[in-house]
């Protein structure tokens, strides 16, 4: 009897030393804000894209997103996940050409969340639209409903995933405004960082409820528009100079 | 005292086991296909991030639409008091259960995470028509089971008429729900119209009646009992009415879309320049599925009713499959209109082109396996329980 007790105590201690202690003692730089902090509606995260600063041929935002979220792909573009993509468009009457990043538009009235049978597609109280990877059944109805084709279905087995971006075969995924960074206290997304690093500064992320934030200033200065405004989805991603 | 009785299937053992093993083999192919797709991931199918619903969904929706439609015969008896169909009502309800199971199994086995079915059964988002459909399908199953019980057990037979009426009402709502899966998709020009709900209802009436007649023909051959002229003539009349109703709602659906300016491009795609989808629409859905059977039925020689009606029913079912394929796959193949004022020049996500879809053999295997499951349920049930009517 005591042998078994000793064995259990020793096993539990070994597990604690191996797994629990390192995480307590860890001093990772992004862990400024405790994850236990509740998400509130004091913020409403959004983004502004100044397309006049977006450079044709530059894929820094896409590359950064892929790295941040471990979207390495399998060399099969039709089935590989794309959380953000670059598109080049031409205005029908003026022939004006614009390049821009396109990703989940984080709608206030998201059709993906409306149609999801299990509620796995959900909008957080701070406006971020994302997928609960534990309750997504992989029906892809949200992909049928999204007007921006912003979502991808994981078509094959994933290995070597990034711990900050859990993903799973058979589930749907999309841009979540780098929610893991935001919840750890970061004020920027990977795509914004990458764009700024190259000096383009086309992407501005921030709190739409903070009147002094960079994103609100950018929106005030540029008079941007939402894509497919006719659908009245009230997206939180704004584009100017289209 | 009624003038008919019900009997079990009395096919020869050789024939029974031949059919049973053939269907069993197809079910194994379906299971193997599903297991392979789930293990490898959906990249082995023709589906991708552009065409997210493919051949399995065409099979599943067709089977579910048929499930609702085959109940038509029982509804004629209990809801509309047509005595002619009363002996066939239990068979009709059995077919409905079998095709419902078949359609749902295909749908579930194509999910990215089929093992999470329990999540879908326990966690609901009531704003989703999909979640409503889970209730509608499971409710339909329960109602049909009770309805069958009231028809087959003399002690509770007095409730069969009430259950029949309930089943009739439920199936109308159920098919409305199936049509609304597409009708509620505002982002896709091919779908966003409520006309899809009644269109799906008339489709179910047509395909269900055709499938019922085909199965009745097979059973009458196996049992060596002829189908009465009265039944044949009545089913033929029903098919003609449903064909006309189907054409009416199909025309209404397309005219509605043509009238809405932002839907014109996708209409032109389906009707004129959609390549394979246009061919499937005109030759499969309209030609095979509607006009040829209609003209054939209205002009054929009444002395050889059974063969033309069988041919027409076959064409209707094949045409129906194409109709669902055109709606589901054709509707997705046309690219989303993300920038109404712009032309998309470049995109790594195929935003600027018609999306391609080539179904894989595994998707076909899953669909065929599911269909075989429905048929084997019917075979087992009519062999072991008394479903087949005979004249006393």
Return the domain boundaries, chain B. 4-391
Q: What is the pLDDT of residue A105?
A: 98
- The predicted-structure confidence for B321-335, as pLDDT tens digits, reads as follows 999 999 999 999 999
Q: Is A114 at the interface with chain B, CB within 8 A?
A: yes
Q: If you average pLDDT over residues B208-221, what whole number do you get?
A: 97
Query: Which residues, other chains included, contact B8 with Cβ-Cβ below 8 Å and sequence gap of 6+?
Result: B382, B383, B384, B385, B386, B387, B388
- Residues of chain A with pLDDT below 70 are 1-2, 12-35
Contact A147 B117 (CB under 8 A): no
The answer to whether residue B231 scores a pLDDT higher than 70 is yes
Which comes out higher in pLDDT, residue A108 or B80? A108
Report yes or no: B117 and B123 within 8 Å, Cβ to Cβ.
no
Nearest to B82 by CA among B70, B74, B94: B74
Nearest to B206 by CA among B179, B241, B180, B250: B241
Q: What is the pLDDT of residue B302?
A: 65
Contact B344 A88 (CB under 8 A): yes
Tokens of A233: 């989805």
Run of H or E including A49: strand A45-50
Contact B130 A76 (CB under 8 A): no
Range 165-224 of A in CB contact (< 8 A) with B = 168-172
What angle do helix axes B89-109 and B160-183 make, rounded to 10 degrees?
A: 30
Report yes or no: A113 and A131 within 8 Å, Cβ to Cβ.
no
| Fold of the domain spanning A45-240 | Alpha-Beta Plaits (3.30.70)
CA dihedral in degrees (B17, B23, B27, B33; nearest 10)? 130
- Chain A hits for B57, CB-CB cut-off 8 Å, are none
Contact A86 B187 (CB under 8 A): no
Q: What is the pLDDT of residue A15?
A: 63
CA distance A51 to chain B (A): 14
Contact A138 B187 (CB under 8 A): no
Nearest to A231 by CA among A109, A139, A138: A109
Report yes or no: B231 and B89 within 8 Å, Cβ to Cβ.
no
Q: What is the pLDDT of residue A34?
A: 62
Tokens of A239: 């584009």
CA distance B290 to B202: 12
Nearest to B288 by CA among B246, B326, B317: B317
A30, A39, A165, A187, B137 from A34: Cα distances, Å: 10, 11, 17, 15, 44
Contact B123 A135 (CB under 8 A): yes
- The predicted-structure confidence for A189-227, as pLDDT tens digits, reads as follows 999 999 999 999 999 999 999 999 999 999 999 999 999
CA dihedral in degrees (B329, B334, B337, B339; nearest 10)? 140
Alpha-helical regions (H) of chain B: 13-40, 55-70, 72-78, 89-109, 117-122, 129-152, 160-183, 196-223, 229-259, 264-268, 276-279, 292-299, 306-325, 331-333, 361-384
For residue A170, what is the nearest residue in chain B, using CA coordinates?
B112
Report yes or no: B99 and B381 within 8 Å, Cβ to Cβ.
no
CA distance A115 to chain B (A): 4
CA distance A130 to A121: 6
Q: Band the pLDDT of B262: cuts 50, 70, 90.
A: confident
- Chain A hits for B130, CB-CB cut-off 8 Å, are 115-117, 139, 141
Q: Is B126 at the interface with chain A, CB within 8 A?
A: no
Q: What is this structure's pTM?
A: 0.92
* pLDDT > 90 fraction of chain B, expressed in percent and rounded: 87
Burial class (CB in 10 A: 0-12, 13-18, 19+), B20: middle
Report yes or no: B68 and B171 within 8 Å, Cβ to Cβ.
yes
Considering only CB atoms, B336 lies closest to which of A81, A147, A169, namely A147
CA distance B337 to B344: 10
Q: What is the pLDDT of residue A28?
A: 40
The answer to whether residue B286 scores a pLDDT higher than 60 is yes
Considering only CB atoms, B187 lies closest to which of A87, A117, A145, namely A145
Q: Is A77 at the interface with chain B, CB within 8 A?
A: yes
How does strand B342-347 pair with strand A237-240? unpaired
Give the angle B282-B287-B288 at the CA atoms, nearest 5°: 120
Q: What is the pLDDT of residue B264?
A: 94
* Mean pLDDT score of chain B: 94
Q: Which residues of B345-370 are buried (b: 16+ CB within 10 A; e: fewer)?
A: ebbebbbbeebebebbebbbbbbbbb
Contact A89 B344 (CB under 8 A): yes
The answer to whether residue B145 scores a pLDDT higher than 70 is yes
Q: If you average pLDDT over residues B342-350, what whole number do you get?
A: 95
Report yes or no: A99 and A87 within 8 Å, Cβ to Cβ.
yes
Contact B127 A157 (CB under 8 A): no
Run of H or E including A204: strand A203-207
Report yes or no: B188 and B262 within 8 Å, Cβ to Cβ.
no
* A150 strand-pairing partners: none
- Chain A hits for B52, CB-CB cut-off 8 Å, are 140, 143-144, 153
Q: If you average pLDDT over residues B11-29, what whole number do you get?
A: 96
For chain B, the first-to-last Cα distance in angstroms comes to 10
Alpha-helical regions (H) of chain A: 2-15, 21-25, 60-69, 111-115, 141-145, 179-183, 190-197, 214-222
Q: If you average pLDDT over residues B242-246, what whole number do you get?
A: 98
- Chain B hits for A137, CB-CB cut-off 8 Å, are 111-114, 116-117, 119-120
What angle do helix axes B55-70 and B89-109 make, rounded to 10 degrees?
A: 160
- Chain B hits for A149, CB-CB cut-off 8 Å, are 49-50, 336, 338, 349, 351
Contact B186 A228 (CB under 8 A): no
Report yes or no: A152 and B49 within 8 Å, Cβ to Cβ.
yes
Q: Band the pLDDT of B4: cuts 50, 70, 90.
A: confident
Judge: domain B4-391, CATH 1.20.1630.10: yes
Largest CA distance in chain B: 75
Considering only CB atoms, B52 lies closest to which of A77, A92, A140, namely A140
How many residue pairs bridge chain A and chain B with CB atoms within 8 Å of each other? 180
Kindly write down the DSSP assignment for every residue of B312-348, as one continuous string. Answer: HHHHHHHHHHHHHHIIIIIHHHSPP-S-TTEEEEEET
Q: Which residue matches tokens 């399995």?
A: B56
């Amino acid at each position: 009897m005591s042998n078994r007790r000793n064995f259990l105590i020793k096993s539990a201690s070994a597990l604690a030393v191996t797994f629990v202690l390192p995480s307590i003692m860890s001093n990772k730089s992004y862990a400024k804000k405790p994850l236990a902090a509740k998400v509130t509606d004091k913020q409403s995260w959004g983004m502004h894209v100044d397309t006049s600063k977006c450079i044709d041929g530059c894929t820094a935002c896409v590359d950064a997103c892929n790295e941040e979220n471990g979207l390495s792909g399998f060399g099969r573009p039709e089935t590989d996940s794309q959380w953000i993509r670059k598109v080049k468009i031409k205005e029908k009457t003026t022939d004006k050409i614009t390049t821009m990043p396109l990703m989940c538009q984080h709608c206030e009235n998201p059709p993906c969340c409306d149609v999801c049978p299990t509620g796995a597609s959900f909008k957080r109280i701070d406006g971020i639209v994302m997928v609960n990877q534990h309750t997504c059944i992989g029906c892809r109805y949200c992909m049928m409903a999204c007007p921006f084709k912003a979502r991808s279905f994981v078509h094959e087995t994933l290995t070597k995933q990034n711990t900050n971006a859990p993903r799973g075969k058979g589930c749907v995924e999309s841009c979540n405004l780098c929610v893991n960074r935001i919840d750890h206290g970061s004020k920027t997304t990977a795509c914004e960082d990458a764009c700024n690093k190259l000096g383009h500064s086309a992407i501005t992320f921030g709190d739409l409820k903070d009147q002094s934030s960079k994103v609100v200033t950018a929106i005030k200065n540029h008079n941007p528009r939402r894509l497919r405004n006719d659908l009245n989805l009230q997206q939180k991603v704004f584009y100017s100079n289209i | 005292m009624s003038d008919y009785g019900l009997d079990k299937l009395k096919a020869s053992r050789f024939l029974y086991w031949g059919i049973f093993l053939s269907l069993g083999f197809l079910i194994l192919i379906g299971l193997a296909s599903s297991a392979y797709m789930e293990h490898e991931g959906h990249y082995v199918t023709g589906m991708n991030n552009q065409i997210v619903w493919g051949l399995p969904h065409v099979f599943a929706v067709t089977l579910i639409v048929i499930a609702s439609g085959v109940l038509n015969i029982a509804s004629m008896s209990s809801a509309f008091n047509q005595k002619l169909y009363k002996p066939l009502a239990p068979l009709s309800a059995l077919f409905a259960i079998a095709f419902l199971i078949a359609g749902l199994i295909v749908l579930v086995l194509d999910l990215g995470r089929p093992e999470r079915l329990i999540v879908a059964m326990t966690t609901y988002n009531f704003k989703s028509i999909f979640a409503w459909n889970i209730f509608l399908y499971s409710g339909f199953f329960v109602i049909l089971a009770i309805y069958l019980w009231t028809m087959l057990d003399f002690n509770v037979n007095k409730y069969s008429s009430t259950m029949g009426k309930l089943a009739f009402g439920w199936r109308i709502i159920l098919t409305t729900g199936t049509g609304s899966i597409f009708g509620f998709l505002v982002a896709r020009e091919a779908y966003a119209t409520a006309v899809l709900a009644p269109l799906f209802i008339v489709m179910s009436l047509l395909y269900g009646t055709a499938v019922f007649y085909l199965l009745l023909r097979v059973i009458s051959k196996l049992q060596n009992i002829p189908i009465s002229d009265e039944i044949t003539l009545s089913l033929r009349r029903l098919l003609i009415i449903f064909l006309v109703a189907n054409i009416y709602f199909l025309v209404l659906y397309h005219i509605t879309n043509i009238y809405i300016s932002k839907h014109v491009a996708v209409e032109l795609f389906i009707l004129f320049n959609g390549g394979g989808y246009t061919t499937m629409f005109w030759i499969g859905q309209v030609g095979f599925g509607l006009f040829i059977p209609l003209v054939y039925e209205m002009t054929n020689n009444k002395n050889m009713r059974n063969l033309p009606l069988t041919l027409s029913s076959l064409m209707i079912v094949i045409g129906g499959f194409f109709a669902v394929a055109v709606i589901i796959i054709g509707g997705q193949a046309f690219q989303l209109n993300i920038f109404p004022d712009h032309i998309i020049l470049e995109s790594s996500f195929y935003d600027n082109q018609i999306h391609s879809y080539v179904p894989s053999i595994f998707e076909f295997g899953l669909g065929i396996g599911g269909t075989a499951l429905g048929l084997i349920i019917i075979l087992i049930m009519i062999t072991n329980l008394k479903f087949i009517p005979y004249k006393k």
